[in-house]
Amino acid sequence: MATRTLHHGAVQGAVLVVHGDITMLTAHAVAYSTDWSLSEGGQLTRAFESGFAGFEDRYAELRGRHRPRSLEPGAAFWIPLGDHMPHGIVVTVAAAGRRPRAERARLATLGALRCACDSLAREGVKKPWTIALPCFLAGDGGARHDRVTVAEPQVEAALGFVRDEPDVDVAFVAYTEANYQVWLEARRRVRARLGVVAEGSEPDERLVAAVARGECVVFAGSGLSLGSGLPGWSALIDELADTLGVPSEDRRGDLDYLLDLAQWYRNEGLRPSIEERVRRTFTAESAGARPTVAHYLLASLPARYYVTTNYDDLLETALRGLRRHALGVVAETDVARTGSPDGCYVVKFHGCAQSPSDIVLSRDDYDGFFRRRPAMALLLEGLLLNQSFLFVGYGLRDPDFRQIWSRIAAMLEGAKRPAFATTFESPPRHGQTQWARHGLHLSPIDGATAADKARKLDRFLDRLADLVARDPHLVLADDVDVAFSQPFADLRKRMLDMLGDLATSCSHAPSASRTEVLALADTLRFFVDHGWRGAMPGHVAGLFGSLALHRELTKEERRDLLVSAMRHTESREEAEKLRRRIEDVDK
């Protein structure tokens, strides 16, 4: 099969759809949705107050400067945050006036985008820009049961905007799985209606099939965290080189050079230790770093295993933003925790900045890695038997990649499973063919600058996420108008009619048997996975939570139900409560 290369030429603006937490996303500007009264106190307000230092005071100042009742949909105000990303918050009025909801949604989108671009330009922020928007009017105060009506005009307005602003990408960030599915569907419909073709080629169909079946391991390298706000390898290299007295003209920026430099540093027994330097450099919290769009797009894939050689915790943060229960696998003893069928796992081959005792960095660390960590090596080999691998953020010449690839290349032939890799390099055709012979199929991502390549990687992952999130996910959604055939339409109506009885049965779980509770859970998952989201916010999460109270459940069954409840909650506060309940069960 021919290698697929992404679109060549200038990068155009794109409209992306991302599942995650907008307050924990790397973007140049982030929009906040409010009503004509500039009200406060809702879940979004609390999330912004905890996510952005100073937002509470500046929002109070904003309310004091404006007469709320005069505000119209699309009115937008800039709250600057400084030189780091995001550079500012766009307070956007969405719920106001008597205009139709679709028109209010369109005006809010355009108002937020214009205000963000004008403000970023005024502050001298270098392009290209990523502007993150919430799903305007998707909650109870808007169009909770008529989301497509407000989603389509938002997507259409954003597509028109980026057509005229090629250096701007717009990311709609959906907090709930239901809104994510609706905004994806809205984008498909608008693109089809307008004849808009997504930039870039299609991902390899074998990769799409493996991801859709849940049979793909995501392998993440350092390139994934570019643009997140972390200092990166160069800062660590400079620290070590300064301490060792290496002249600037003798320094290099490649990882292979860093291995030898780190080994020299270890041999000298210098302080602070390499582990302490890694902790200082790659702890996202201390650096103010947030996951990128690429992190969230990968976290939205139906993968159970995320393997990384990065020290940062950005993947874990992105998974937490999707309310996925991610277990860290750092030490050899953690490998035994990967047998459970619920949740997902972040396997950190080279250690974690949060737990620096297991850091792998120097030449000796690399060369003896698999020998000293046999459980990690066995886990890797076991995954190869049943999973395809997707490498993201690696260079083909990186020691990280070469080390891992040398271990698995021979096993791939026996497993008969292809592996895939995005790469910012552009190997010649014969080079791509050579990699394919060894089972690795490349998707080269071209671009004149690092920023261009990062934007094209976002488009590739966005397309992959869209393809694996296809129907039948929305056939039971109450606000998605699909032309079903009459026999199925009748069946669909009967299924929706029985949901009241299902909800009642779930709420009476304590009086049911364990077998009945597990059967109810499986039935509930079927309906939820096909678009049903309950009569009110938190309904689905509450039903899973009720089932989890049954006394006869095993620890694993209870955790599984709580994980499902956390995934479907629409409240950040409730998500944290459920996370604590899961931790209590694990103890």
3-state SS class at 62: helix
The answer to whether the beta carbons of residues 118 and 104 sit under 8 Å apart is: no
With tokens 């003209």, the residue in question is: 249
Closest CA to 477 of 154, 183, 101: 183
**Considering the entire predicted model, what is its pTM?**
0.91
Other C-beta atoms within 10 Å of 535: how many?
Answer: 12
DSSP state, 496?
H
Which residue(s) pair with 33 in the sheet?
A: 92
Q: For the sheet containing 168-174, what is the strand order?
A: 15-19, 168-174, 129-134, 29-35, 88-95, 76-80
DSSP-based three-state secondary structure for 215: coil
Q: Which residues of the chain have pLDDT under 50?
A: 1-8
Q: What is the helix (H) or strand (E) element at residue 108, kind and residue range?
A: helix 101-122
403-408, long-range: CB < 8 A, 24+ apart: 403/366, 403/369, 404/219, 404/309, 404/349, 404/380, 405/440, 407/370, 407/377, 407/380, 408/380, 408/381, 408/384
Q: What is the pLDDT of residue 141?
A: 59
C-alpha 212/C-alpha 466 separation (Å) is: 10
3-class state of residue 76 by DSSP: strand
Ranges assigned E (strand) in 3-84: 15-19, 29-35, 76-80
Looking at residue 473, its pLDDT comes to 64
* CA gyration radius, the chain: 24
Q: Rounded to 5 degrees, what angle do the CA atoms 540, 546, 550 make?
A: 145
Q: Which ranges of 205-249 does DSSP label H, i.e. alpha helix? A: 205-212, 233-244
Q: Please list, in sequence order, all residues whose beta carbon lies within 8 angstroms of the beta carbon of residue 65, skipping any fewer than 6 positions away.
A: none
Tokens representing residue 120 in the block: 């970023």
Phi and psi based region of residue 537 (left: phi greater than 0; alpha: psi -120 to 50; beta: remaining): beta
Both tokens assigned to 334? 């953690």
Q: How far apart are CA 113 and CA 120, in angstroms?
A: 11
In contact, 86 and 288? CB cutoff 8 Å: no
Question: CA 34 to CA 141: how far, in whole Å?
Answer: 10
